[in-house]
């Protein structure tokens, strides 16, 4: 019997059986109490295995979104706007405050440096860590956040941007981040929303048509293979997905106090700006972006943003 990793409920169902592109088999499990969605079983996430997943090809695919000047400017300005919104929550302290950024694949890390933060970046990908140091002159700690040693009560800001969905044990990492943050510090967490309107519609159609027909139809229309994914659960890259309820439970479980939660759409200019990837959309993908925009208006966009404080 499986138990939910977040609320410990045993009301867990298998919602899909998946064939990850990196090999093996796993189930997509969902808790009916809190909505948490995760992949099980998972392989041993050794550094060697993770570098196979998050190597040069993966890193450069992410960085391709900022490959031209206008895209870089858009993504840079989005992070500037995020930090502007954070100011009202941050405690008064000297100008050069300490920040921890989990990940060093995108230009958002450089924004923290440019705005005068004393930045520590942790990156699991060997290629991403080395290339960030060369590209942006950053000091990057290479390793799994689970394994990296961090001092207690140090950071004023911790930024966890589209990272938690990659973690096999998100609660353990949140506990670690809570320990390394100063009292009064702010956690900014962004991730996918497993209860977004667009995802709900996609999953509903999948259930209605059945796996075989839905897989065939979606592949014809978008070239995406449903055998490897369930919504935004894409083992072994995205292995933990939250909705508002499960994310609130998770941050509260480790001692953070939620301040605000947002559910913007993908395409939101601050939280998930579209850059050059929109040029390659199929008509169906363009239609679904309108569905997502509608979802954001009713509190069910595809992105979750959480501000939380360490009291």
The per-residue pLDDT for 29 is: 98
Separation CA 142–CA 126 (nearest Å): 6
The per-residue pLDDT for 165 is: 98
The per-residue pLDDT for 261 is: 97
Residues in the chain with pLDDT values less than 70:
91-96
Note the pLDDT tens digit of each residue in 200-216: 999 999 999 999 999 99
Task: Enter the pTM of the model.
Answer: 0.95
The per-residue pLDDT for 276 is: 75
The tokens for 123 are: 């990156």
Q: How many CB atoms lie within 10 A of CB 43?
A: 14
The per-residue pLDDT for 84 is: 93
Nearest alpha carbon to residue 272 among 198, 212, 182, 184: 198
Q: How many CB atoms lie within 10 A of CB 21?
A: 15
The per-residue pLDDT for 272 is: 96
3-state helix, strand, coil in the chain (%, to 5): 40, 25, 35
Domain spanning 12-310: which CATH class is it, in words? alpha beta
CA 33 to chain centre: 22
The per-residue pLDDT for 94 is: 60
The per-residue pLDDT for 280 is: 77
Q: Where are the beta strands (DSSP E) in 135-238?
A: 140-142, 155-161, 181-192
The per-residue pLDDT for 87 is: 86
Note the pLDDT tens digit of each residue in 29-44: 999 999 999 999 999 9
Q: 238: which residues sit within 8 A by CB, 6+ positions away? A: 165, 166, 192, 232
CA distances in angstroms from 149 to 99, 120, 141, 158, 177, listed in the order given: 15, 12, 10, 15, 11
């Amino acid at each position: 019997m499986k138990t939910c990793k977040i609320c410990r409920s045993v009301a867990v169902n298998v919602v899909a059986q998946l064939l990850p592109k990196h090999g093996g088999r796993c189930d997509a499990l969902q808790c009916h109490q809190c909505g948490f969605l995760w992949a099980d079983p998972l392989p041993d996430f050794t550094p060697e295995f993770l570098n196979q997943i998050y190597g040069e090809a993966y890193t450069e695919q992410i960085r391709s979104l900022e490959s031209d000047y206008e895209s870089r400017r858009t993504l840079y300005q989005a992070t500037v706007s995020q930090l502007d919104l954070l100011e009202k929550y941050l405690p008064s302290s000297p100008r050069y405050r300490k920040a921890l950024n989990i990940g060093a694949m995108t230009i958002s890390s450089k924004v923290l440096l440019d705005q005068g933060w004393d930045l520590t970046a942790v990156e699991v990908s060997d290629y991403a860590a080395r290339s960030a140091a060369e590209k942006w002159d950053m000091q990057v700690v290479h390793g799994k956040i689970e394994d990296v040693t961090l001092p207690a009560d140090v950071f004023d800001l911790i930024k966890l941007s589209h990272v938690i969905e990659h973690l096999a044990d998100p609660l353990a990492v949140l506990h670690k981040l809570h320990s390394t943050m100063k009292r009064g510090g702010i956690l900014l967490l962004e991730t996918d929303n497993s209860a977004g309107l667009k995802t709900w519609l996609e999953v509903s159609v999948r259930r209605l048509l059945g796996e075989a027909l839905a897989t065939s139809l979606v592949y014809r229309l978008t070239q995406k293979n449903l055998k490897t994914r369930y919504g935004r659960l894409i083992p072994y890259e995205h292995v933990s997905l939250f909705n508002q309820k499960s994310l609130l439970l998770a941050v509260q479980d480790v001692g953070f106090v939620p301040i605000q939660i947002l559910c913007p759409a993908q395409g939101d200019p601050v939280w998930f700006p579209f850059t050059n990837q929109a040029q390659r959309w199929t008509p169906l993908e363009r239609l679904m972006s309108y569905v997502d925009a509608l979802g954001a208006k009713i509190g069910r966009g595809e992105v979750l943003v959480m501000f939380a404080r360490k009291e």
